[in-house]
Chain A
Amino acid sequence: MSISDSTILSVQDVSISYLAHRGKVRAVSRVSFDLHQGESLALIGESGCGKSTLNLGIIRLLPKTGRIDQGKILYTTRDGRVVDVLGLSEREMREFRWAECAMVFQAALNSLNPVIRVRDMVYDTAQAHGRHDRVQIRKRMLELFRRVRLDPERVFNAYPHELSGGMRQRVLLALGVLLNPQVVILDEPTTAVDILTQRTILEVLRELRAAMGFSIIFISHDLSIAAEMADTVATMYAGEIVEIGPVEELFYRPRHAYTLGLLEAVPKLSVGAQELVSIPGSPPDLIEPPPGCKFHPRCPFVTERCRREPPPLVEEAPGHRVACFESARVLAHSQPVR
């Protein structure tokens, strides 16, 4: 098992499917990426493209109908060992979760047990990982609550229903870093809150990351947030990563027609009145995806070849990989826009 020195998490050729009544839903197809120490990776893409599924797969908490069909998820422990997450036993997996890789869920409002206090959830979490010193845990948690700008004492002793949505989101964020994980996955951490709370959460996240040095996988529908938070951005379409690269590269020199489409669909305040272009059509059926490039039915750059062959993901610029036969034309088209 070989991965480069600074790589914390290496997802290699992972496919995940759900068994539905109609057939097999290929929610994630042959996804590969590396997450480096301290790196922040943003996953962008339309609703239903498999972002949450991919991340649930990483901590192996897919719903009963979901399964990981193939691939490897290599994780580098703090002492430098490389383990395949998919090969861990149930017990090892339990220890891996939260202590190594924490996940702040999409539905943060519903992420806390309504009948027990926040402090009991904190102690539960710590105890599950063999940390029994309550005084110590309490101290650390209060400190983290302070960092995420919550009233520590009040929140620590509160029941979830006594907290607002934004507060619960920050509780989860603070709880997420309680055990000092190396990877923190954030599934749309800011969609349910207003724009000011959103700013607070992003700031807090940046501070925590600077202080603790964890890596982030960040899912967002909001490209401006992705641009602000991420070092690397990956575009997902219909379960595949179709383009991945450094944030500047991807946003200023997109090479995949889908990424370009996403960017053109975003209003820009600085430019003033301008034409917004939405992507025509809708995402494909994941049970019977179209042949060739899955994006071809919606693609303005489509050629005969796109309909026949699936394009491979190739590195076209340093660290910038794209799965598009017509990437040169897309790139050329994207230049005048900026």
Chain B
Amino acid sequence: MEATTSPQAVQSGWAAFWKATRRALTGYTARTLLQGLLTIWAVMTFTFVLIRQMPSNPVQIEAERIVREELVSYEEAYSRAASLFDFDPNQPIIEQYVEYLAKLIRLDFGQSITSAGTPVLDQILQYLPWTVFSVGLGLLISFTIGIFVGMAMAYWRGGILDNVVTALASILFGIPNYIIALLIILILGVQLKLFSVAEALGRVDPTIEPGFTPEYIGSVLSHAILPVVTYVSATVGGWILTMKSSTIATLGEEYVTVAQARGLSQWRVLTAYVGRNAMLPLVTRLAISIGFVVGGSVIIEDIYRYRGLGKFLTTAIVARDYTSMQGVFLVIAVSVVVANMLADVLYGALDPRVRVGKEQ
């Protein structure tokens, strides 16, 4: 009878969630929002100055390219490059900053420097979904596996599952994600030929017409496999180990024994008493990870030629496309800040002890 989870728990969970959401949007919201805006502004200013301290500017980079390809003098190449871009490297940085800020307030991210005429926002919106899809999916899978496997290990601790997975998770936890990506390509692709490396790279087969067709969706999914697998392998160990230790701590709590003494079914004890409490410490971590979804994929996207926001950022960095870089950093800052607010709301919904404001 309880095997399908009791409706009141679900309901009260949602009720608490909405209540917390509403509270988040009223009471302490003003302060939180202001704090968030300040953080975003600070990050924005910092990166604005920082990226302009990198050696060379977009015009110089383009000029060098022209020199290399067309064997003209540097001066000629420079003036051609300068006329190509709507960007004056000699404009004082403070002027650039004020101009940028003025546009930004109207949510205008400016034009890309290197592809003149394309709004940065358009480009970001074109790349962002791919990253959100692949890294987000990876995070979701990783988190879910972590919760279930971690809990199972805690329940049967000392068993085979526990020992094997603990060893495996500790190893995976220690390997950086780009090493995993390279190993996958070299061992599974090149050596064992489990997949064709040429076909697997990229984010979709370019010969297939985009649209809601099975071919296109299939191609999108199959191209996401490698990045997702890499992302999961690199992060799942951390989730598993955290969930395991958290569950072990919760299992030792008196209220779990009392719940059993009250004759509750194993399932109900597992979900509402052990699971929910054991998950609390992971929620903050999850929110932080969500914040880094946007920026957390730069090297993997590069290795797999998966053209998401990370790839867009590397391209922009190489070309010193200031406005594009600035745009990406801004998106990352915003998502981290928003994720942190989300963490507060989520945590409040799950743990009544930390709820802000008054009840009833």
Q: Which residues of A contact B (CB under 8 A)?
A: 59, 61, 94-99, 102-103, 105, 107, 110-117, 120-121, 123-125, 127-130, 157, 159, 161-162, 172, 175
Contact = CB atoms under 8 A, between A and B. Distances in A.
Given A102-B261, A120-B12, A113 B273 contact: yes
A297 B6 CA distance: 56
B254 A97 contact: no
B2 interface: yes
A59 B261 CA distance: 7
Contacts of B260: 61, 97
B186 interface: no
A161 B351 CA distance: 11
A94 B263 contact: yes
Contact of B262 (A97, A120, A159, A161): A97
B261 A124 contact: no
Given A112-B258, A162-B359, A175-B262, 12 more contacts: A102-B262, A105-B261, A110-B253, A110-B254, A111-B255, A113-B259, A115-B276, A116-B9, A116-B272, A121-B262, A127-B1, A128-B263
Interface in B262-296: 262-265, 268, 272-273, 276-277, 280
Contacts of A124: 6, 259, 262, 264, 268, 272
B352 A161 contact: yes
12 contacts: A94-B263, A111-B255, A113-B272, A114-B255, A115-B280, A116-B12, A116-B276, A120-B272, A121-B262, A128-B262, A128-B268, A161-B353
B8 A120 contact: yes
Contacts of B276: 115-116
A200 to B, nearest CB: 22
B20 to A, nearest CB: 13
A65 to B, nearest CB: 11
B35 interface: no
B350 interface: yes
A83 to B, nearest CB: 16
A172 to B, nearest CB: 8
| 6 shortest interchain CB distances as A-B pairs | A110-B254, A97-B263, A159-B352, A111-B258, A98-B263, A107-B254
A98 B261 contact: yes
B350 A115 contact: yes
Nearest to B360: A157
B257 interface: yes
Nearest to B2: A127
B258 A115 contact: no
Contacts of A162: 359
Contacts of A103: 261
A125 B263 contact: yes
Contact of A98 (B255, B262, B280, B353): B262
Contacts of A107: 254
Nearest to A108: B254
Given A94-B265, A114-B277, A120 B1 contact: no
B106 to A, nearest CB: 44
A73 to B, nearest CB: 15
Nearest to B351: A115
Contacts of A127: 1-2, 6
Contact of B255 (A59, A110, A161): A110
Contact of B353 (A96, A120, A159): A159
Nearest to A90: B266
Contacts of A96: 263
A128 to B, nearest CB: 5
Contact of B258 (A105, A116, A157, A159): A105
A135 to B, nearest CB: 13
Nearest to B355: A159
A44 to B, nearest CB: 23
Contact of A95 (B255, B263, B353, B359): B263
Given A110-B253, A115-B276, A123 B352 contact: no
Contacts of B280: 115
A128 B257 contact: no
Contacts of A61: 257, 260-261
A214 B8 CA distance: 31
A321 B2 CA distance: 47
A111 B9 CA distance: 19
A125 B264 contact: yes
Given A113-B273, A114-B353, A128 B255 contact: no
B262 A117 contact: no
Nearest to A94: B263
A120 B8 CA distance: 8
B273 A125 contact: no
Given A98-B262, A161-B352, A161-B353, A123 B254 contact: no
Interface in B1-30: 1-2, 6, 8-9, 12
